[in-house]
Amino acid sequence: MGRLDVRVRTDLGSTVSYLSREDKPQEKVTVTELSLSGAMVTGLSTQLSELFAIRLPLPGLGDVELLAKFVRRGKTGSAIRLFYSEQAAMQALWEHIRGKLPRTDNCPYCGHPDDSREGSCDKCNLYLDFSKKNYLERHIENTFAQRLNIRLSRLNLEHIQKIIDFVDSKLLKIQHRSPDREFVGASREMLSVFSMIRKVAPTEMSVLLLGESGTGKELTAKALHSLSTRKDGPFVAVNCAAIPESLLESELFGYSKGAFTGADTSRKGKFEYADGGTLFLDEIGDLPQSLQAKLLRFLEDRLVQPVGSSVSKKIDVRIVAATNCDLHRSVSEGRFRTDLFYRLNSFTIKLPPLRERGEDKVRLAKYFLARFCEAENRPVGFSADALEAIEGYSWPGNVRELENKVRRGFLMASGKDIGAACMELDQVAPSPAAPVDCGYRSAPSQKEYVVKVLEDNDYVIAKAARQLNISRPSMYALMRKHGIQGKRAS
C-alpha cells in the first residue's frame, strides 16, 4: 500500500512560532517537502512534543498558518505533522501541492506506472483526477476508512470503545440502523451489535463472533464484509468443524504439486481464494492445534505456505472467526492456543440469543412471514395466540428455529391466520436455554461421542444438532466427516 497523501518537493521559507512558550519565540525554517498531512523542514530547533504554529507563504495563494508538531529527526531535516482547523487552509495547501506534482505518468500515491490520471489508479484505487474542483473532498472521503484505520491501530480496545460511544451518542445522535435490510433487529441488544458492526467493518481488525447456533454469526460476518473496503473482493467461508483434520490444512493453505500422493497439480487454498477479501473461519474452536499455529503465523506476517511448498505467499485477507463454544474454557483446558485467542479476540461481537431480544422475536417472525407471503403471493397473518407463543417460547435454536417454525406455520395455515398449533408452539412450555454441549469437540473419540448423541436422540438430526448446539448443516457435515450413516437406528 502506498501513501494516502501525495508528497511533493517545495522550497518555502516559513516562520515557526512556539505558542506554548512564555515569550512566544519565533524562528525561520524552510519547508522542503510537503504533503497534506505533514512536511519536512530544515532549521527547526525543537525536538519536543509541543504544538507550534507554522506560517507558510504559498505563492499566488497567500499565507496559511497551521498548527504542527515535531515527529522525528531525519537525514534531510525534521518531519512534522500538520493539523487543520479550517477547510480553506487545507484547500490552499492542496492547490500548492497540486501545482508541484511531478510530470510523470506514475501514480503519485503508489508509484504504479502508466496511469492516465483519469478515474482511479488500477493498483491502489485512489482517485487521480487532480483537475477536478472537488478532488480534495472526494479524496478525503475515499480514504476516510484507511485514515481511521491508521488512527485505530495506535489505540487500545478501551479507547476504541470510547470513541465508538462518543461518535454514536454525541456526534451522530443516531438511531442505530441495521447494516442491511435483511438483518432485522431493533432491540437494545441488537442495536448495540449493529453499532459495533458499522464501526469495526471499515477497519482491518480481525473480528471474533460469539453466539449460540442460529443467532446470526454468518449473517454478521457477511455484513462486516459488505460494509468494508473489501466489499468488491471475495467472501470465503470455511467451516473448520466440517472438514476432516487431514484435509483441512490443504483446504485452507493449498498444496503444491507432488505434496502428497494424488496431488497431481498445485491447488490454491481458501486463504488464496479470499485474497483481497474476507475469510470467514466458522467453528474456529475446532481448528486443530497444528493449524492454530499456522493461523497465528498468518495473522503475524500475512504469509501463507501451501502444503509441500517451501515458498510462502503474501496474502491480503481479513479474518472473521466464529464459534458457539466457550473459547475461554477451550483455552484453559489447553485445547485452544492462548496467543491465538488473544489475537482473534482483539474485537469481539457477541450475538445475543433470541430469547434475550425482547420485541425482536415478534419482529423477526413478522419479517419472515412477510417474505414467505410475498414469495407465494398469499397474504397470511399471525393469530393472537401465535404471537403470544412466539414471545413466550425460549427459542433454543434461535433465529434459524424461528424462521423454520414460521415457514412451517405458513405452509400449514389453511385460512388467513397462523395459529400457535401450526407452528408446533401450542404444547411447548417455555423451557430454559438448551445446554451447550461442546464435549464432542474434546472427546477422545469424537465419532463415538457423536454416535452416542445421535442414538440418544433416536437419530433425529435436528434434536441431536440442538443438543450439540450446532446447526443441522453442521451436524450433517460432522456425520459425513466421520462416515456416520444418517438413518434411524433400528
Ligand X SMILES: Nc1ncnc2c1ncn2[C@@H]1O[C@H](COP(=O)(O)OP(=O)(O)OP(=O)(O)O)[C@@H](O)[C@H]1O
The residue (of 204 and 218) whose beta carbon lies closer to Mg ion is 218
CB of 354 to ligand X, least distance (A): 8
Find the farthest-apart pair of alpha carbons in the chain and give their distance in angstroms, rounded.
95
**Which are the contacts of 96, defined by CB distance < 8 A and separation ≥ 6?**
10, 34, 56, 58, 59, 61
Judged by CB under 5 A, which stretch of 14-22, 212-220, 292-300, 385-393 contacts Mg ion? 212-220
The residue (of 36 and 470) whose beta carbon lies closer to ligand X is 470
The residue (of 54 and 434) whose beta carbon lies closer to ligand X is 434
Q: What is the CA radius of gyration of the chain?
A: 29
Judged by CB under 5 A, which stretch of 214-222, 255-263, 445-453, 462-470 contacts Mg ion? 214-222
CB of 159 to ligand X, least distance (A): 29
The residue (of 89 and 327) whose beta carbon lies closer to ligand X is 327
CB of 104 to ligand X, least distance (A): 49
Alpha-carbon distance 6 to 115, whole Å? 15
What torsion, rounded to 10 degrees, do the Cα atoms 13, 19, 24, 30 define?
-10
Alpha-carbon distance 161 to 166, whole Å? 9
The residue (of 216 and 306) whose beta carbon lies closer to Mg ion is 216
C-alpha cell at 456: 440418544
Length of the chain: 490
Count the neighbouring beta carbons within 10 Å of the beta carbon of residue 74: 10
- Which one of ligand X, Mg ion, none is in contact with 137 (Cβ closer than 5 to 8 A by kind)? none
CB of 200 to ligand X, least distance (A): 17
Q: Residue numbers of the site for ligand X (CB under 6 A)?
A: 182-185, 211, 213-219, 324, 364, 399-400, 403, 470-471, 474
CB of 98 to ligand X, least distance (A): 47
CB of 473 to ligand X, least distance (A): 8
CB of 397 to ligand X, least distance (A): 8
What single letter denotes the amino acid at residue 205?
A: M
C-alpha cell at 3: 501513501
Question: Does 218 participate in binding Mg ion (rule CB under 5 A)?
Answer: yes
- Which one of Mg ion, ligand X, none is in contact with 399 (Cβ closer than 5 to 8 A by kind)? ligand X
Type and span of the H or E element at 490: none
Alpha-carbon distance 12 to 15, whole Å? 10
- Which one of Mg ion, ligand X, none is in contact with 243 (Cβ closer than 5 to 8 A by kind)? none
The residue (of 306 and 409) whose beta carbon lies closer to ligand X is 409
**Which are the contacts of 180, defined by CB distance < 8 A and separation ≥ 6?**
223, 226
Say whether 382 sits in a helix, a strand or coil: strand
Contact residues: Mg ion, CB under 5 A: 217-218
